Structures are given as C-alpha cells and as structure tokens.
A and B are shown apart, each in its own frame.
Chain A
Amino acid sequence: MDKKRHLSFGFSFGFELIEVIVGAAVITLSLAAIISMLLVTLRESLAAPAELKAAALAEEGLEALRSLRNQSFASQIAALSVDTPYHLSFAGGAWQVSLSGGYIDGEFDRTLLFESVYRRTSDSDIVDAASPDTKALDADARKATVTVSWWEGNATSTVSAATYLTNLYDN
C-alpha cells in the first residue's frame, strides 16, 4: 500500500515537472517573440519620420523635374546626359541640376538618373533598351529616377521614385 502510494506520488511529481518545464519554455518563447515584435515595431516607428522625409524628397524631385520639363524640355531635360548621376538642389529660388551636390539637412543625398526611352515600332509601347523587339529611340521622352539615400543605424537606406518625362509642351 505504501509502495503504491509512493509510486503514485512519484509519477504525479514527474508529470508536473515536465509540465512546468514545457510551460516555462512556451512562456519564454512567447515572451521572446513578443519582445522581438515590440522591438521591431519600435525600430520601425522611430525610423518612419526619416523614411517619410526621404519619400517626400524623392517625390519633390520628380515634381521639380516636371517643372523644368514644362520650362523647356530641350534645354532642361534632353540636354542632360543619360545614365549619369546628377544632383538636384533648390538654391536662389530655383531648381538646379548639377553633377555634384551636398546633403540635404546634412543627412539625405538625392540623385537623379535619366535613361533613354525606346518604343516598339509595331505599337509604340515603351520597351526596355535590351528588348529584342524592333524599336526606336524616343527623343521626346526620358525616364527619370530619383533616389534618396541616408544613413540609418548601421546601414544605408534608400527610397526611389521614377517617372517618364515627355516633351509635353513641344519646347
């Protein structure tokens, strides 16, 4: 009788120990996952203002190019070299595109890249420069990509926006 009670006690004690170990492991893993998620949320939230500022700078760059395009496609857009990185700055009340430029607020670097636009001969759709289709260069269009980069934590972050600029006003 005593032996049976002892065995029963031993079995019961061992089962509870396993439950405690498994339970503790589940709680530990859950807490680790929750803390990890909170840290990611915190990091993303703290980085969001800089990301929004970069996105606004990229969009501002595209809009500035539209303004320059409206002024004169020939002199402000087509005259710039393709596949060459430029900088866009606002100085003296006007937009200026140049080969070199400083950081915006000492932190954000904004560059422009123009690419040639090719159109498929059969339907005038824009195709990649490497497309095997029969195509022709569209001298009245450029693809413009604005890239904003900044240092965040221990890495460089970038935001890009692109558009096609056409010779809308035939100027």
Chain B
Amino acid sequence: MTIKNYNEMRAAQHLTGDAMLIIDRLGYEIRRAESVDTGDSTLDSSPGRLSLVAEDDDEETTITLESGTVRIAQDGVETGALNGEHTEVTSLVFRQVGSGASSGIRTEFTLLSSDGAATSTENFYTFFVMREAQ
C-alpha cells in the first residue's frame, strides 16, 4: 500500500461521508416541507437554490451552493455547511416533481473529493416527497 493508495482511500472516505450528510439533510428538510418558494428558488439548473416552507411554523429553509459548498439557512440565518474542506460540490440541481400530495424534490449533485494528488468524484441523485404538501 502506497501513499497514493492512502490518499485515494482518504479521498473516497471524504466523498462518502459528505455525500451521506448532504443526502440525509436534504431528506430531512424536504420531507418536512409543505411547499417550495419558487420565487426564491433556482430550479432545473446549477447552481441550484431551494427555498422550502415548512407547515408547522412557516419557517423557510434555504439550500444553496456557494463556491463549491452546500450551505443551509433558516429564515435567512445561515446554520452551516453540508460539505467539508476536503470536498467540493461542482454541480447542484433541484427539480420539482409532481403536484399536490405527490410533489417532491429531485436533487442531482456532483461531489469532488481530493486528498493529496488523489481525487474521487461521483454523481448522486435523491428524491424526497414533501410530506406536508396537499
């Protein structure tokens, strides 16, 4: 096992960890949403922007891509980044699918991870139904 192998392994680990975090958080936010604020969202193109309105307290959650980092904000206050310093999201697209109770958000993103000279990249696709949509 060489330094190159070690770097490749670390790059793959960074990629997997950050992808999992992004997918989990997207699922949590989209599933609890009632609707999409389409006026404050950028759908069907990258870099995407998604503003979700939750039913319980009209809280608006916004997910954006800025300089390779997926950021999340609630009611305009940024709460953090979803990927770390070792990874870069090179593309993020949100698509609204269906209507009424069947409406959901499909997310497509490409994650690039690097460690030393090694890099790892993968496309990920997720879809979550907005449980509160009527």
Contacts and interface: CB of A to CB of B under 8 A. Distances in A.
Contacts of B104: 63, 67
A52 B125 contact: no
B123 A90 contact: no
Given A42-B1, A66-B129, A50 B122 contact: yes
A22 B16 CA distance: 42
Contacts of B124: 52-53, 56
* Residue among A38, A68, A70 having the largest count of chain B Cβ atoms under 10 Å: A70
Contact of A94 (B19, B97, B126, B128): B97
Contacts of A93: 95, 97
Contacts of A104: 125
B105 to A, nearest CB: 10
B5 interface: yes
B48 to A, nearest CB: 14
A52 B16 contact: yes
Contact of B125 (A38, A50, A57): A57
Given A38-B1, A39-B1, A66-B129, A48 B102 contact: no
Contacts of A105: 123
Q: What range describes how many residues of A lie at the interface?
A: 20 to 34
A63 B129 contact: yes
B97 A67 contact: yes
Contact of B8 (A38, A46, A52): A46
Contact of B129 (A38, A52, A70): A70
Interface string B103-126: 110100000000000001011111
A11 interface: no
* Residue among A49, A50, A60 having the largest count of chain B Cβ atoms under 10 Å: A49
B17 to A, nearest CB: 9
8 contacts: A45-B13, A49-B12, A49-B16, A60-B126, A67-B103, A67-B127, A69-B102, A104-B125
Interface of A: 35, 38-39, 41-42, 45-46, 48-50, 52-53, 56-57, 59-60, 63-64, 66-71, 90, 93-95, 104-105, 169
